[in-house]
């Protein structure tokens, strides 16, 4: 018997209350009893996104929300700036290019953080740039970019939309959509929101809706204008993912019970304990700057294959973390502390990591990392 | 947010597959589709109880199974021997006395083990003793009594039934009902069987059925003869606890997939790691002999209230263990490793215990017990 532990940066564990809510019998998405459910979901999302804007609910993965954030607000030939510090930065570039946008990239090495001043100089050099795209948390490197700083820069450029993929960051990081003036924020269900995959959320500012009027890229499924019109009537454009939206309300209820500030504090505490435990074991953190509160990217020790650590964690100890992607493959592995996560998820992840490293011949004293995590997680 | 961890000696955590099976729509207990479900359950229980005897399925807690094991096989005035080494030993005495049986007790101090020779000398002194009652695992002290040894003794006395309360021991200990010649074995759903409370199981030998014919104690609900007749038709005497019996089949399927020998090995491994981790912290094991594989009774350090440890574990860390009962109250607390339990349940329990002891001023180095558990649980 092997119990399963999900410590991946999405999908993440779903709390029992949420699972239970989604086990209720199906209701019809156009029937009157579904309207208050959508109404509640859209208010809950505004609370979570810290915005007065509408937050659209799409039946798709997070990537669908990213695609819609391109093809509803831009035109072929538009110049845009992609801030690329990892695998998901690359995705923005690919999506933009697939619709004929002209992409300029601000690149940083994997594990490093985009600087607002780099964004500012790029925008000053070319004031014709119509949008700036970034990840809040770059899941592949475990870096949280300086969204507040970058937002402060982009805000100064009247013709530029600031588009943030916050799929892995939401719930774990305090992202202030309205206060910082972020035009588009994309979220997904299977991360901090503690739901199964299948929903994307997109918050859209007035500035972005204005731009929407001039966008000519064809789209049928991700039609944000129609989604907005439907949302005003507590509906969605096509069939709703009824079950997931019911679960969404329950997940938001759970988060509201804890309080947004406490939710952020919990994530920061778990992330910090994970990093310090890893360091106590003599391992390096792959994120050289601004490590995220969602996921910790850990460097495999010299001579040890990061994918092997991932594999043994999973096969012998039942723990599903994540390996490295692309150029980080083999060099790192990742443990998340995202969503429905607490003290003993960190302890479990670190204890298992120690056991795996020991098996792989890495010189360590069992319990060293755990002790550091315990010290930091005592209440 | 506080995740909840159930490390009590019953109820124990229910595996997801079992929970899911119990979430299926209700079926009728007299309808044809329920017959194969009972059929499968009775075969599964025979496998688990290691017996060819019928294993009755009662809708009650384990105590109901104990009561039926008295009032179906004995008469007022019968002399019986209760082997009493703790809180649940006392319960046998109380049940027997409530039906007018004349109870003689073999007492051992809490934390100690009944010796087969004590049973033998008591039986030799009074060959008129009609039954010997014992707990396999005395949950209040964490002691596993020598069931094999005692069975070997009682077997020699033709007029004596051997009645074992194996409620907390089943699944965790290798109890060989037929091979050792145990007449009556009582089990419950909410322990090693990983189910919610609500079912008792009683295995009855031919020798006991013979005795049943002469028992005159009135009983209506726990009528074992009628239960046996019903079981032969894949039925129960009254309404079945349909949901729990469906869950029972799924729980047995999970155990069969692991294999009985592996199930016992897992429990022994987790119990051993728990004890050694506790000792590494300088704490004592309350069971001075034959510590059980279901639950570990841990002595609170001098000056520390065991109930306080239980309370802080629960309130600050979300971990529900158990305190001490009666004379052990305050002196001990208990952590179970029973049923749906694995490596990281032990790690979680020990890590949390360290954090609680540290808070209570006990001098320890965090991670010490965890390291010992990790060492013993590496695979």
Q: pLDDT, tens digit, for every residue of B157-168?
A: 999 999 999 999
Closest CA to A251 of A169, A196, A178, A295: A196
Q: What percent of chain B lies above the pLDDT cut of 90?
A: 99
B209-244 pLDDT, tens digit per residue, is: 999 999 999 999 999 999 999 999 999 999 999 999
Q: Where are the domains of chain A?
A: 5-10+260-377, 16-257
Task: Tell me which DSSP letter residue A201 carries.
Answer: E
Helix (H) or strand (E) holding A6: strand A5-6
> Is residue A26 less than 8 Å (CB to CB) from chain B?
no
The CATH number of the structural domain formed by B5-10+259-377 is 3.90.1150.10
| Helical pair B368-377 and A368-377, crossing angle rounded to 10 deg | 140
Residue A6 clears pLDDT 90, i.e. is over it: yes
B291 neighbors B141 (Cβ within 8 angstroms): no
- Give B176→chain A minimum CA distance, Å: 22
Residues of A in Cβ contact (< 8 Å) with B379: 316-317
Looking at the partner chain, which of B1, B316, B348 has a beta carbon nearest the beta carbon of A348? Answer: B348
Question: Could you give the count of Cα atoms lying within 13 Å of A41 in the half-sphere of its Cβ?
Answer: 31
Chain B nearest-CA residue for A255:
B1
pLDDT beyond 90 at B127: no
**A 237-266 residues with CB below 8 A of B?**
254, 257-258, 262-263, 266
Please name every residue paired with A201 in a beta bridge, in sequence order, or none if there are none: A57, A187
What are the distances in angstroms from CA B80 to CA A117, B109, B146? 88, 20, 19
Q: What stretch of H or E contains B372?
A: helix B368-377
A240: confidence class by pLDDT, cuts 50, 70, 90: very high
Q: What is the mean pLDDT of residues A336-350?
A: 98
Strand spans (E) along A69-198 = 79-84, 102-107, 131-135, 137-138, 143-144, 161-165, 184-188
Task: Check pLDDT > 90 for residue A119.
Answer: yes
CB within 8 Å: B365 and A344: no
* A30 Rama class: left (phi>0) / alpha (psi -120 to 50) / beta: alpha
Q: Are A351 and B370 inside 8 Å of each other by CB?
A: yes
CA nearest to A25 within chain B:
B25
Please give the angle made by the CA atoms of B49, B52 and B56, to the nearest 5 degrees: 65
* B136 SS3 class: coil
Which residue has tokens 């002194």? B125
- Shortest CA gap B257–chain A (Å): 8
Asked if A147 and A136 touch (Cβ cutoff 8 Å), the reply is yes
pLDDT for the residue A199:
98
CA distance A280 to chain B (A): 12
The per-residue pLDDT for B166 is 98
Of A349, A321, A15, the C-alpha closest to A194 is: A15
- Distance between CA atoms of residues A154 and A80, nearest Å: 12
Q: How many CA atoms lie within 13 A of B288 on its CB side?
A: 8
**CB-CB neighbours of B95 under 10 Å:** 20
- Alpha-carbon Rg for chain B in angstroms: 21
Beta strands in chain B (DSSP E): 5-6, 55-59, 79-84, 102-107, 131-135, 137-138, 143-144, 161-165, 184-188, 199-204, 295-299, 319-320, 332-336
Q: How far apart are CA A235 and CA A230, in angstroms?
A: 5
What angle in degrees, to the nearest 10, is found between the helix axes of A306-317 and A343-359? 110
Are A359 and B366 an interchain contact pair (Cβ–Cβ within 8 Å)? no
Strand partners, A79: A102
For CA atoms A319, A325, A330, A335, the dihedral sign is: negative
Q: What is the number of CB-based contacts under 8 A between chain A and chain B?
A: 100
Strands A137-138 and A79-84: unpaired
CB within 8 Å of B358: residues ≥ 6 apart? A378, B364, B366
How far does B328 lie from chain A, in Å, by closest CA?
A: 28
Please, which residues have CB within 8 angstroms of residue A2's CB and are 6 or more apart in sequence? A317, A318, B342
How far apart CA A31 and CA A33 sit, in angstroms, is 6
Element (H, E) at B69: helix B62-71
Chain-chain contact of A344 with B5 (C-beta, under 8 angstroms)? yes
Model confidence at B310, pLDDT cuts 50, 70, 90, reads very high
Any CB–CB contact under 8 A between A24 and chain B?
A: no
| Residue B51 pLDDT grade (very low, low, confident, very high; cuts 50, 70, 90) | very high
- The distance in angstroms from the start CA to the end CA of chain A is 32
Task: Convert the pLDDT of each residue in A271-308 to its tens digit.
Answer: 999 999 999 999 999 999 999 999 999 999 999 999 99
Contact A340 B3 (CB under 8 A): yes
Q: Of B357, B370, B377, which to mutate for an interface test with A (greatest number of A Cβ within 10 Å)?
A: B370
Beta carbons within 10 angstroms of residue A261's beta carbon: 9
Q: Closest Cα to residue A338, out of A227, A172, A224, A182?
A: A172
Please report which confidence band the pLDDT of residue A21 belongs to, taking 50, 70 and 90 as the band edges.
very high
Contact A355 B368 (CB under 8 A): no
Q: For position A96, what pLDDT does the model report?
A: 98
Tell whether B73 lies on the interface with A, counting CB pairs under 8 A: no
Confidence of residue A9 (pLDDT cuts 50, 70, 90): very high
Residue with tokens 């530029």: A160
Give start and end residues of each alpha helix (H) in A213-361. Answer: 224-232, 242-258, 260-280, 306-317, 343-359
Alpha carbon distance A278, A287 (integer Å): 13
Contact B183, B162 (CB under 8 A): yes
At A296 the three-state DSSP class reads strand
Question: Is residue A25 within 8 Å of residue A262, measured between CB atoms?
Answer: no
With beta carbons less than 8 A apart as the criterion, state whether B346 and B242 touch. no
Q: What is the DSSP letter of B322?
A: B
Question: Cβ–Cβ of B1/A342 closer than 8 Å?
Answer: yes
More confident site: B127 or B132: B132
Model pLDDT, residue A111: 97
Identify all chain B residues contacting A345, using CB atoms and an 8 Å cutoff: 3
In angstroms, the Cα distances linking B280 to A352, B304, B325, B370, B379 are 19, 18, 25, 9, 20
Beta carbons of B351 and A344 less than 8 Å apart: yes
Per-residue pLDDT tens digits for A158-209:
999 999 999 999 999 999 999 999 999 999 999 999 999 999 999 999 999 9
Tens-digit pLDDT profile for residues B238-278: 999 999 999 999 999 999 999 999 999 999 999 999 999 99
Would you tell me the crossing angle of helices B242-258 and B260-280 to the nearest 10 degrees? 80
Strand, helix or coil at B14? coil
Characterize B199-229 residue by residue with b for buried, 16 or more Cβ atoms within 10 angstroms of its Cβ, and e for exposed.
bbbbbbbebbbebeeebeeebeebbbeebbe
Q: B288, B312, B310: which is closest to B141 by C-alpha?
A: B288
Name the DSSP letter for residue A322: B
* Chain A interface test: which of B5, B348, B351 (most A C-beta within 10 Å): B351
Mean pLDDT of A243-267: 98
CA-CA distance, A7 to A345, in Å (whole number)? 8
End-to-end CA gap in chain B: 32
CATH code given to domain A5-10+260-377: 3.90.1150.10
Find chain B residues with C-beta within 8 A of A22's C-beta.
Answer: none
Question: Which residue from A2, A317, A374 is facing B366, i.e. has the nearest CB?
Answer: A374
Closest chain B CA to residue A256: B1
Residue A244 has pLDDT above 90, yes or no: yes
At residue A127 the predicted structure's pLDDT band, cuts being 50, 70 and 90, is: confident
CB distance A371–B374 less than 8 Å?
no
Residue owning tokens 């019968």: B78
- Cα angle for residues B232, B339, A24 (degrees, 5° grid): 80
Q: Is A214 exposed, middle or buried (0-12, 13-18, 19+ CB in 10 A)?
A: exposed
Interchain pair B348, A352: CB under 8 A = no
- The backbone torsions φ and ψ at residue A252, rounded to the nearest 5 degrees and listed phi first, read -65, -40
Cβ pair B342:A378 closer than 8 A:
no
> Least CB-CB distance to B366: which of A2, A365, A371?
A371
| Neighboring chain A residues of B359 at a CB cutoff of 8 Å | 378
What CATH number labels A16-257?
A: 3.40.640.10
Contact between chains at A1 and B258 (C-beta distance less than 8 A): yes
Q: Report strand pairing: A199-204 vs A295-299.
A: unpaired
Q: Does A31 touch chain B (CB under 8 A)?
A: no
Q: Please, which residues 288-347 of chain B have a Cβ atom closer than 8 Å to chain A?
A: 316-318, 340, 342-345, 347
What's chain A's average pLDDT? 97
pLDDT tens string A82-112: 999 999 999 999 999 999 999 999 999 999 9
Q: Is the pLDDT of residue B371 over 90?
A: yes
Site from A256, A280, A344 to mutate, B interface, most B CB atoms within 10 angstroms:
A344
Q: What is the pLDDT of residue A92?
A: 97
Distance between A201 CA and the closest CA of chain B, angstroms:
24
Which candidate from B342, B347, B378 shows the least CB-CB separation from A347? B347
Any chain B CB within 8 A of the CB of A94? no
Whether the CB of B351 is below 8 Å from some CB of chain A: the reply is yes
CA B374 to chain A, closest CA, distance in angstroms equals 7
């Amino acid at each position: 018997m092997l119990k399963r532990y999900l410590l991946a940066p999405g999908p993440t564990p779903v709390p029992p209350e949420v699972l239970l809510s989604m086990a209720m019998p199906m209701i019809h998405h156009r029937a009157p009893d579904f309207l208050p459910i959508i109404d509640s979901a859209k208010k809950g999302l505004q609370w979570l996104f810290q915005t007065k804007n509408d937050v659209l609910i799409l039946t798709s993965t997070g990537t669908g929300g990213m695609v819609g954030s391109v093809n509803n607000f831009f035109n072929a030939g538009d110049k845009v700036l992609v801030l690329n510090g990892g695998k998901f930065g690359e995705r923005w570039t690919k999506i933009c290019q697939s619709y004929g946008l002209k992409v300029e990239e601000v690149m940083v090495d994997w594990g490093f953080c985009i600087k607002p001043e780099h964004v500012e100089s790029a925008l000053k050099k070319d004031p014709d740039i119509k949008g700036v795209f970034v990840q809040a948390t770059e899941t592949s490197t475990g870096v949280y970019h300086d969204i507040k700083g970058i937002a402060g820069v982009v805000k100064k450029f009247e013709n530029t939309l600031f588009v943030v993929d916050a799929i892995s960051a939401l719930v774990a990081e305090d992202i202030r959509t309205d206060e910082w003036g972020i035009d588009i924020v994309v979220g997904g269900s299977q991360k901090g929101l503690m739901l199964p995959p299948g929903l994307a959320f997109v918050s859209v500012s007035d500035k972005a809706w204005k731009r929407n009027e001039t966008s000519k890229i064809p789209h049928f499924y991700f039609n944000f204008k129609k989604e907005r019109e439907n949302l005003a009537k507590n509906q969605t454009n096509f069939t709703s993912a009824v079950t997931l939206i019911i679960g969404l309300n329950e997940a938001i209820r759970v988060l509201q019970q804890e309080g947004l500030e406490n939710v952020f504090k919990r994530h920061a505490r778990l992330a910090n304990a994970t990093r310090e435990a890893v360091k106590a074991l003599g391992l390096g953190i792959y994120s050289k700057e601004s490590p995220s509160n969602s996921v910790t990217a850990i460097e495999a020790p010299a001579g040890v294959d990061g994918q092997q650590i991932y594999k043994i964690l999973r096969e012998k100890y039942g723990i599903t973390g994540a390996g490295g992607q692309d150029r980080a493959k083999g060099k790192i592995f990742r443990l998340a502390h995202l969503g429905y996560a607490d003290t003993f998820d960190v302890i479990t992840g670190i204890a298992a990591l120690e056991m795996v490293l020991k098996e792989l011949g890495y010189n360590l004293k069992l319990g060293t990392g755990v002790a550091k995590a315990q010290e930091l997680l005592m209440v």
